[in-house]
Amino acid sequence: MRVAICEDSALFREGMTRLLAEAGYQVVTAVDDAEKLLASVAANPPDVAILDIRLPPTHTDEGLRAALTLRRRHPEVGVLVLSQYVRVSYAVELLEGGVEGIGYLLKDRVSDLAEFAAAIRRVGSGGSALDPVVVERLVSRHSQPDDPLSRLTGRERDVLRLMAEGRTNLAISERLAIAERTVEKHCTSIFGKLGLTAGPHDHRRVLAVLRYLNA
């Protein structure tokens, strides 16, 4: 899988480049600002573009804007945004255009190479990867006793969180050490209790769950 990196910290950029190369990824470019990334992707599209959400010159949301631009100009390229801090609004804005081939992770996840590599693979394969901390923030908004989320069992809430992260039924079953068929039953129950329509594709159900959590 071919990867492009955009990160203004030289130390972090070089470290991530080495880690991904060791994990078997081909890093086709590693640049320090959004304009260079956009130019590189236009000339030589990678499978996945990984970029910091805060980039020069203002270090506010240049990375987010570049990610949205990539989504418009190169929908075939997966986009994985890294952030130092949780900003739920950024994650929702990024995902509102569709969850196919998109990810939003905290930079801390890079240190867990197995998880980070799995997220890149999901994004590169047209799936999604949403940081567990962002999902927890969204879930915690629904704390009122009369909220439909309160009707979920503890196990159903576990499945909901993993579903919102972009994980498939198989991945959820492996994480929770339960049968895939059991995950399917939990998903059916979750969608019924929340009044959602479960689509046949993973990315559609992820979007449905995220829209519900962000309402």
Please state at what angle helix 88-96 crosses helix 62-73, rounded to 10 degrees: 10
pLDDT value at position 151? 86
Does 20 lie in the same domain as 115? yes
Looking only at the bridges linking them, the beta strands covering 128-130 and 2-6 are unpaired
What global pTM score does this model have? 0.80
User: What pLDDT does residue 213 have?
Assistant: 73
Domain carrying residue 77: 2-130
Instruction: Please tell me whether residue 102 adopts helix, strand or coil conformation.
Output: strand
Q: What's the CATH number where 183 sits?
A: 1.10.10.10
60 and 86 fall within a common domain: yes
Residue type, 91: A
The conformation of residue 188, written as its DSSP 8-state character, comes to H
DSSP state letters, 63-93 = HHHHHHHHHHH-TTSEEEEEESS--HHHHHH
Q: Provide the 8-state DSSP code for 200.
A: S
Please give the full DSSP string across 132-173, using - where no structure is assigned.
HHHHHHHHHT--STTSGGGGS-HHHHHHHHHHHTT--HHHHH
CA 28 to centroid of chain Cα atoms: 21
What pLDDT, on the 0 to 100 scale, is given for residue 136? Answer: 82
State whether 47 and 119 are in the same domain. Answer: yes
Are 88 and 7 within one domain? Answer: yes
Mean pLDDT by 10 residues, the chain (215 residues): 96 94 95 96 97 92 94 95 85 78 90 90 90 81 75 90 87 94 92 74 67 67
- Position 204 scores a pLDDT of 63
16 and 103 in a single domain? The answer is: yes
CATH number where 48 lies: 3.40.50.2300
What whole-number distance in Å separates Cα of residue 47 and Cα of residue 41? 10
How many domains are there within the chain?
A: 2
Residues 143 and 75 in one domain: no
* End position of a domain, from candidates 114, 130, 146: 130
pLDDT at site 137: 79
Last residue of a domain, one of 130, 152, 184: 130
- Counted residue by residue, the chain has a size of 215
Cα dihedral value 161, 167, 168, 171, nearest 10:
-100
**In this structure, are 115 and 207 located in the same domain?**
no
Tell me: do 97 and 199 sit in the same domain.
no
Q: Among candidates 109, 178, 29, which has minimal Cα distance to 170? A: 178
> Hey, is 131 helix, strand or coil?
coil
From CA 103, how far away is CA 160, in angstroms rounded? 17
Q: At what angle do helices 169-176 and 154-164 cross, to 10 degrees?
A: 130
Q: How many helices (H) and strands (E) does the chain have?
A: 10, 6
